[in-house]
Amino acid sequence: MPQAFDYQKQNLPPIKSLRHAPREEMYLPGHRTCAGCGPALNYRLVAKAAGKDTIFIGPTGCMYVANASYLCTPYAVSWIHAQITNGGAVGSGIEAAYKILARKKKYDGPFPNIIVMAGDGGSVDIGLQAMSALMYRGHDVLFICYDNESYANTGIQTSPTTPYGANTTFTPPGKMIPEGKTLFPKDPPQLVIGGHPLVKYVATTCISYPVDLMNKVRKALNYDGPSFLHMLSPCPKGWKFDEKLSLEMGRLAVDTGMWTLYEWENGVYKYSRLPKKYKPVGDYMKFQGRFSHLKAEHIAKMQAFVDEKIQRIKAIAVEAPIPTPKKKAR
């Protein structure tokens, strides 16, 4: 691409606490997402952190169909629907357009935050090609994978991030396949970290830690080039838990090691919240109907998978927490 030039990139300051977060909502009330929807809360926090000079790309998924029905959306900023296949590509095109418009002085405002909000399918399954190409080409775009661990919008089918042992409508447990899902999931941040030379920032987040989440969004946006965020988005309908427990599920995911909060910045790993002592995975899985068919041997398999992950983390972990509000112990 032509030489670098000053295209008036924004620089978003870190958010000190919930009180200090911008009050303005960019993801407004008035959408058809389920009560207690994790991805919706995710969207809200991302939009809040990004601010008004933002353009969202919404590949088909829950965060399209549930948000944008009918003939109305909850986005206070510009937003465009993309196919589930091409979130990364449409985002690339918008970024290229703004670059040329800025260079030709047809646009002289702050360079918009261009954010692709793709589900797990739209990020690492059918949308993988477009996501990877965006990372490779180095567009100044933030690609977010809001992970509810299934193709939720079409009625909860398995996706590459669905955990082992989950009951989905494409992996129902039965006599021949007692655990339901037999495959272990892909690791989206590792896919990005593993081979895209222009990516400088990759991080994971969880809605249970909103200040951490919003600061990671800002950090990612502030980098000149592509960034990737993997955001755990508990799904009451898909995971089959009481909707008031959405944030509890996020905390338990982190406490059991099922989800690891970390940043990868210019080759260095920083962990945001490492439990001193991990809870057993059963403490997380027992709340979720998608795991209720599992026997002890399956849970043990899951525990072994998580234990191996923990060992790898312990070998390189550097804990660098981003402040989250103190919460009274329950």
Partner 1 sequence: MAIKVPKEREVPFGAITPAPVGQQDLFMTSNWRIVRPVIDNEKCTRCFICYASCPDSCWSYNEKEDQMEWNWKFCKGCQICIYECPSDALSAVAELDFEDGVVRLEKPF
Partner 2 sequence: MAKELMLSGCAAAAQGAKFAEVEVICSYPIRPYTAIMMELSRMVANGELDAEFVHGEGEHAQVSVVLGASAAGARAYTGSSGVGVTYAFEVYSPAAGGRYPLQMAIADRTLDPPGDFGSEHTDAMSARDQGWLMGWASTPQEVFDNTLINYRVGEDQQVMLPQFVCQDGYFLSHIPDKVVLPDIAQVREFLPPYSAPHPLSTTCPVSHGPQIKPDQGAVMDAQRASTFLIVPEVIEKAVADYNRIFKRNIPPFIEKYKMDDAEVAFFIMGAHANTCKKAIDQMRAQGLKAGMVRPRWVRPWPTKQIAEAFQNVKAIASVETSTSYGGAMRGGNLVHELRATLYDLEKRPLVTSFMAGLGGDVILFEDFHFMAKILNQMVKEKKTSKHVYWIGFEED
Chain residues in the site for partner 1 (CB under 8 A)? 17-19, 21, 23, 25, 27-33, 35-38, 40-41, 44-45, 69-79, 210, 236, 243-248, 325, 327-328
> With CB cut-offs between 5 and 8 Å by kind, which of partner 2, partner 1, none does residue 148 bind?
none
- Take residue 210 and report the two structure tokens written for it: 């909103």
98 binds partner 2 (CB under 8 A): yes
Contact with partner 2 (CB under 8 A): which of 21, 133, 247, 320? 133
**Of 132 and 272, which CB lies nearer to partner 2 in the complex structure?**
132
Burial track 24-56 (b if 16+ CB lie within 10 A, e otherwise): eebbeeebebbebbbbbbbbbbbbbbbbeebbb
**How far, in Å, CA of 322 to CA of 277, rounded?**
20
At position 180, the amino acid (one-letter code) is G
Contact with partner 2 (CB under 8 A): which of 91, 121, 180, 234? 91
96 binds partner 2 (CB under 8 A): yes
Closest CA to 210 of 13, 17, 67: 17
Q: How far is the CB of 330 from partner 2 (least distance, A)?
A: 40
Q: How far is residue 72 CA from its own chain's centroid?
A: 24
Question: Which residues of 4-76 form beta strands (DSSP E)?
Answer: 54-59
How do beta strands 268-271 and 262-265 pair? antiparallel
> With CB cut-offs between 5 and 8 Å by kind, which of partner 1, partner 2, none does residue 313 bind?
none
Q: How far is the CB of 225 from partner 2 (least distance, A)?
A: 15
98 upstream amide cis, omega within 30 of 0:
no
Interface positions with partner 2 (CB under 8 A) = 1-2, 52-55, 57, 64-65, 68-73, 75-83, 85-86, 88-94, 96-101, 103-104, 106-107, 109-110, 112, 129-130, 132-133, 136-137
